[in-house]
Amino acid sequence: MSAFLQRIGKPGRGALLAAPGVFFFAIFFVVPLVSLFLLSLDKPSIGNASVQWMFDFRNFERFFGRALYYEAAIRSAGLAALVSAITLVLGYPLAFLIAKTTNVRRNTTLMILVLCAMQLDMVIRLFGLMVLMGDVGIINEFLRWIGIIGDEPLPLMYNFTGVVVGLVQFSLPFMVLSLVGVIQGINPSLEEAARSLGARRWQTFWKITVPMSMPGILAGLLLVFAISFSSYVVPTLMGGWKVVVLPIHIFQQVAELGKWQFGAAIAVVMFAISFLVMLIYQRAAAQASGGRI
């Protein structure tokens, strides 16, 4: 009985605890966002950025009616999904390495290296990537030198590949950081037990380690999806104007053409897609943790 009362008592106190955060989000996130959504339901009018309460759907009709825009939506989501997958494949081993390295100095160094990469500013990072991946960049010059390619350079930048590489490079630290703690937190006796029962390293890895690190995998995938889906700078600087994703359209509409209403409509579509992905994540996460010991 007392336990039950304590549990009722908790929400009361908890609600007080969360009040400032909820209040903050309500004023500074919900209200601006709702205004933006209302703006998307106004008739387009250049130079006007205030809500007119028209409840007109023509902006959405325009979006879904022209291939230019709905293809961009598919491109955005596909790009984000691809980047998430690649980042997982590259990031998991690195996270595994950091988690399993017992030498404190070594794993601290690895962590610091990962955090350093996070800290490099995006625009100057472009210079670094251009030096590496450009037509006369280090990679191409190397391939040319060892004779794999002739005069024609491998087009690594200013196209879809460039954007994927740029986004993976940018999101890797986030994926790694989502995974290290979880992998480390796996009870080592589980792995030891499996091994003493005769399981090889790879079997242990696939049957114990990976499934048990699922919460981290899902969190990392979600985070990287969000980051790549909403990225404006990387597709702009690395895509050579061939990879036009939704954030670029929004920026063009609002910041250059003054068409706030249409820009807001595109933002609404982005929000809807991400919310869907978020719900998928939660479903998957619930199932994964259902299997936990």
10 scored as a contact of other proteins (CB under 8 A): yes
CA distance 276 to 231: 18
d(CA 92, CA 167) in angstroms, rounded, equals 16
Q: Is 191 in the site for other proteins (CB under 8 A)?
A: yes
Report, in Å, the least distance between residue 280 CB and other proteins: 10
Q: Closer to other proteins at the Cβ: 20 or 291?
A: 20
Please tell me whether residue 149 binds other proteins under the rule CB under 8 A: no
**CA dist 56 → 33, 38, 60, 80, 282 (Å):** 18, 10, 9, 30, 33
Q: How far is the CB of 2 from other proteins (least distance, A)?
A: 8
Number of H helices, E strands in the chain: 15, 0
> Nearest approach, Cβ of 94 to other proteins (angstroms)?
4
Which one of 52-60, 142-150, 170-178 is the stretch in contact with other proteins (CB under 8 A)? 170-178
How far apart are CB 27 and other proteins at their closest, in Å?
9
Q: Residue 84: which of 163, 171, 162 has the closest Cα?
A: 171
- Cα angle, residue 184 at apex, residues 178 and 188 outer, rounded to 5°: 150
Letters for 227-266 (x = contact with other proteins by CB under 8 A, - = none) are x-xxxxx--xx--xxx-x-xx--xxx-xxxxx-x--x---
Which residue among 79, 164, 226, 269 contacts other proteins (CB under 8 A)?
A: 226
Task: Check binding of 182 to other proteins (CB under 8 A).
Answer: yes
Phi-psi region of 152 (alpha: psi -120 to 50; beta: other; left: phi over 0): beta
Q: Is 15 in the site for other proteins (CB under 8 A)?
A: yes
**CB of residue 55 to other proteins, shortest distance in Å:** 19
Q: Are 35 and 253 in contact (CB under 8 A)?
A: no
**What is the x/- site pattern for other proteins, positions 93-122, by CB under 8 A?**
xxxxxxxx---x--xx-xxxxxxxxxxxxx
Q: Is 196 near other proteins (CB under 8 A)?
A: yes
* Beta-carbon contacts of residue 238 (< 8 Å; ≥ 6 apart): 126, 129, 157, 158, 162, 163, 165, 166
Q: Does 130 sit near other proteins (CB under 8 A)?
A: yes
Q: By CB under 8 A, how many residues form the interface with other proteins?
A: 136
